[in-house]
């Protein structure tokens, strides 16, 4: 009986949360804008790129495999990243104190989007909105090369950027269609100052709240 009421209250708390996906090509400003969104809406940041970099820092087998793919501009396999994400979501638990989650860099394939929808339904949660930051290629390359000067990331170089853009166009763009079909897609003009872009994002989030 006690368990039942606990489950009920978890479901209730899940259904009130706002869960956001932030999507966009490498260099589109996902990380920067996530930081602003987290602060304003008190959300939990979940970046799959960060989760992978943590595994790489541990130097384990998974990290080594991920490192080789990331520095070559490729995606890591779906099962690897889905598993890491599930582990992170379970660690946070349904009653984490934030108002919801912002997923940064996930899903990057339709397979991952389907896995996410399944995960949400088992947790009685839902994705409210996918924010797509639209930035033209020339600007993307400029931003990543600039970031590469200080990020220490070995995937922030011209050769890898081109591969990452290609991977994005082929594998991640179909994810946008997936969320368009669910009526959750919002395209945001990602050109301009950080403040201007954030204002556009805030407006879109406020509309769904
Ligand atoms: P990010 O920090 O989001 O730019 O991610 C850095 C790199 O990690 C990407 O270029 C991919 O190689 C890998 N990665 C991050 N998230 C995913 C994902 N959802 N699926 C596959 N690979 C990913």
Residue 55's domain comprises 18-199
Counting from 1 in the atom list of ligand 1, the atom nearest the Cα of 104 is 3
Pocket test for ligand 1, best of 50, 57, 74, 75 (most atoms within 8 A of CB): 75
What pLDDT does 15 receive? 58
Residue nearest to ligand 1 atom 1, measured at CA: 49
Asked, for residue 50, whether it belongs to a domain, the answer is: yes
- Tell whether 10 is covered by a domain: no
* CB of residue 70 inside a 6 A radius of ligand 1: yes
Interval between CA 10 and ligand 1 midpoint (Å): 30
Taking the CB of residue 91, how many other CB atoms lie within 10 A of it?
A: 8
**What is the distance between the alpha carbons of residues 195 and 200, in angstroms, rounded to a whole number?**
9
pLDDT value of residue 10: 53
| Domain-embedded: residue 144 | yes
Please give the pLDDT value at position 96: 87
**73 in any annotated domain:** yes
pLDDT at 5: 42
Q: Is the CB of 80 under 6 A from ligand 1?
A: no
Q: How many domains does the chain have?
A: 1
Residue 26 lies in a domain: yes
Is residue 88 in a domain? Answer: yes
Residue 206 lies in a domain: no
pLDDT in tens, the chain (209 residues): 444 444 445 555 565 789 999 999 999 999 999 999 999 999 999 999 999 999 999 999 999 999 999 999 999 999 999 999 999 999 998 888 899 999 999 999 999 999 999 999 999 999 999 999 999 999 999 999 999 999 888 898 999 999 999 999 999 999 999 999 999 999 999 999 999 999 999 999 999 87
Identify the pLDDT of residue 122: 94
Closest alpha carbon to 163 in 52, 33, 74: 74
CATH of the domain at 176: 3.40.50.300
DSSP readout, 106-144?
---SHHHHHHHHHHHHHTT----EEEEEE--HHHHHHHH
């Amino acid at each position: 009986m006690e368990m039942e009421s606990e489950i009920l209250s978890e479901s209730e708390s899940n259904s009130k949360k706002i869960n956001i996906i932030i999507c966009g090509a490498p260099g589109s400003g996902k990380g920067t804008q996530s930081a602003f969104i987290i602060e304003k809406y008190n959300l939990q940041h979940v970046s799959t790129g960060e989760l992978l970099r943590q595994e790489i820092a541990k130097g384990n087998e998974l990290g080594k495999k991920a490192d080789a793919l990331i520095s070559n501009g490729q995606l890591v396999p779906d099962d690897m990243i889905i598993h890491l994400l599930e582990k992170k979501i379970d660690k946070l638990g349904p009653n984490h104190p934030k108002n919801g989650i912002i997923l940064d860099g996930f899903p990057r394939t339709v397979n991952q989007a389907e896995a996410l929808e399944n995960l949400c339904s088992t947790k009685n949660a839902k994705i409210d909105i996918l924010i797509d930051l639209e930035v033209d290629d020339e600007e993307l390359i400029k931003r990543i090369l600039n970031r590469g000067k200080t990020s220490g990331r070995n995937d922030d170089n011209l050769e890898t950027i081109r591969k990452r853009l290609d991977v994005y166009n082929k594998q991640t763009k179909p994810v946008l269609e997936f969320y368009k079909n669910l009526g959750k897609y919002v395209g945001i003009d990602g050109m301009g100052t950080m403040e201007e872009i954030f204002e556009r994002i805030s407006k879109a989030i406020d509309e769904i709240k």
